Structure 1
Amino acid sequence: MKPLDIALATLVAVIWGVGFVLTRLALDEMSSTLLTVLRFAITALPCLVLPRPRMSWQLVVAISWLLVSQFLAQTYGIAHGVPAGLTAVIVQSQALFTVALAALFLRELPTRWQVAGIGIASCGLLLICFTVGYDFSVFAFAVLMTAPLSFALSNLLLRRARGVPMLDLFAWIGLAGLAPLLTVLLFVDGPRVTWLALTHISLGGAACVLALAVIGSTLGYWIWGRLLHDYSAAQVVPFALLVPFVGAGASALVFGEQFGPLRLAGMIVVVCGIAVMLLSPRPPVLVEVS
């Protein structure tokens, strides 16, 4: 890869890692549902000038609703006490779910290295499970664990969108996600609570939402899609390994998050397992989202 493209891939990983911290800051002023709605709404604005991608509308909706499920789950987890750094690691575990689901539904048999990576990452998740119930509830952790599963399913569908401009695709994905998100928002938060939250957002909170949508989603996916177009997945995807490190590090710096020995060991083991999968001779095609 060219030095500039290496720098861009690293920048995207940093942006997505910091996105978990921005999510935590934004959740101080609004619900997880409202934050997700605003993020998808801003991401959808380019639809006003961008054409609909040349793929079936049903596929766009399916990918969109899976990503809605992912973002709702991960923001819910953070809003209910799961540390942002730990969330970054758990969401990145989508790699092992992607490989497993590809084997189950697409009959793509994983390599020995990928099987080893799945086993290693699973052991790390098990270690993390032993720490649940102290600083956040089992229910919050269970909801959060649906995020990497939804992410993995969307990865499989995104593989059918090769050659489609990522900027166009994710703008229309944002639009398709607004209907279910607004329904959930009105049902869970209600019009009154939503209006109060919108009218009391600080400049800092608004900046976090804009950064998540414009920089994290629109710009991040445009750069990532361009890199995947110019290079093989084996060259680009390993940069996603930086995301959990950046997320955990930024969370520790901003919030002073400290991880006990067992949880820290679990996080490290998960990332090591993901590294084994991504750096294997035939890494899975993944798309990372914060």
Structure 2
Amino acid sequence: MKPVDIALALLVVLVWGVNFVVIKAGVAEVPPLLLGALRFLAAALPAVFFFRAPKLPLRTYLAYGLTIAFGQFAFLFTAIHVGMPSGLASLVLQSQAFFTMLFAAVWLKESWRPSQLAGLVLAAGGLGLIGTAHGVSMPLAGFMLTVAAACSWAAGNVVSRTLNRNGPVNLLAFVVWASLVPPLPFLVMSLFVEGPAAIVAALSNFSLRSAGAVMYLGWGATLLGYGLWARLMSRYPANQVAAFPLLVPLVGLSAGWLVYGEALQPVHWIGGGLLMLGLGVNLFGTRLMTRLRGAT
């Protein structure tokens, strides 16, 4: 990767790592599905008036908007709302790298290597271990919703891999226009699940804290973060770019501990270690084996 793209990837890591404590602050005052609608309204407006929509099929906008935007954050916001620790959510969400690998193999016919299969087994064991440790500090529903969010993110990654097939695409403009897709399903779900009374109460008592959370989530985590992420996913192989979110849990866990005093149980650390080891084997195992063979 070019040095400038590495620097941009690290900026995404920082923005997304802090994102989890901001989500926790937001859902403390705003129902999670309503917060999702406000996030993407902030991302889309007024930016759509300054960017021309890339010439892509409507199905591409819908696929991206309903997976990486609506699906991922409907599940993630709800997970944190029901008690999933923000730092632990940042860790479990990185299972998206393996779901990306699975989905890319099915839809894009990308091949697997032995190291990727070994990494998948390790990561699956880590996720299973984390899942068995549910309780007061981590409700099972929160864990399962976070895994569902990872699946949605992975599906959106596969969509991102197809953006430049017919020529260069302004990826920031694409993210802006794709952000018009999720607000409506978020609002519909909010009306049915959270209820009109909760929506009216949240908007009537909208605080500076809530406004700050919406602005960070809409402008920082979405426009900046996903604009850069889509750029990286379109320029490099999915299994190469997926290495950088390995660093997101370091920021997320640190921010959760500093802001909310979140402390993980030993079994969470062990399971998280297996998950991160599996991701490392997936991304670097083949390269390491090649070097070892060359040395011998």
TM-score, normalised with respect to structure 2 = 0.87
Q: What is residue 160 of structure 1 aligned with on the other side?
A: 162
- What is the aligned partner in structure 2 of residue 286 from structure 1? none
Residue 55 of structure 1 is matched in structure 2 by 56
Q: Give the C-alpha shift of residue 232 in structure 1.
A: 6.7
**Pairwise CA RMSD of aligned residues?**
2.2
Corresponding residue of 1:258: 263
- Identity of aligned pairs, percent? 37
Q: Partner of 1:66: helix, strand, or coil? A: helix
CA distance in 1, matches of 2:4, 2:63: 34
- d(CA) in 2 for partners of 1:263, 1:226: 33
Determine the C-alpha separation between the residues in 1 that align with 2:213 and 2:29: 11
Q: In 1, Cα distance between the equivalents of 2:38 and 2:161?
A: 27
Cα 1:231–1:188 shift into 2, 3 Å: closer
Distance 1:41 1:80, change over 3 A: same
1:35-46 to structure 2, matched below 5 A, reads 35-45=35-45, 46=47
Q: Distance in 2 between matches of 1:3 and 1:117?
A: 27
Per the alignment, in what secondary structure is the counterpart of residue 9 of structure 1? Answer: helix
Could you tell me whether the CA contact under 8 Å between 1:80 and 1:136 is conserved in 2? no
- 1:65 Cα offset (Å): 1.0
Please report the TM-score for the alignment, with normalisation by the length of structure 1: 0.89
Q: C-alpha distance in 1, partners of 2:72/2:27?
A: 16
Q: Check if 1:23 corresponds to 2:28.
A: no
1:147 Cα deviation (Å)?
Answer: 0.8
Cα distance in 2, alignment partners of residues 108 and 219 from structure 1:
28
Equivalent in 205, 212, 226 of residue 200 of structure 1? 205
Following the alignment from structure 2 to structure 1, what is the Cα–Cα distance between the partners of residues 234 and 189? Answer: 35
Alpha-carbon distance in structure 2 between the residues aligned to 1:279 and 1:212: 31
Matched residue SS, 1:93: helix
1:61-119 per-position Cα deviation (integer Å, ceiling 9, x unaligned)? 12211130110101111111110111111111111111122223443331111111111
How far apart are residue 231 of structure 1 and its match? 6.5
SS in 1 for 2:179: helix
Bigger radius of gyration? 2
Letter of the structure 1 residue corresponding to residue 40 of structure 2: F
Q: What CA distance in whole angstroms lies between the structure 2 residues aligned with 1:54 and 1:280?
A: 39
Q: Structure 1 unaligned segments of length 5 or more: list them.
A: 283-290
Distance 2:271 2:203 in 1: 38
Which structure 2 segments of 5+ residues have no match?
Answer: 288-296
Letter in 1 for 2:59: Q
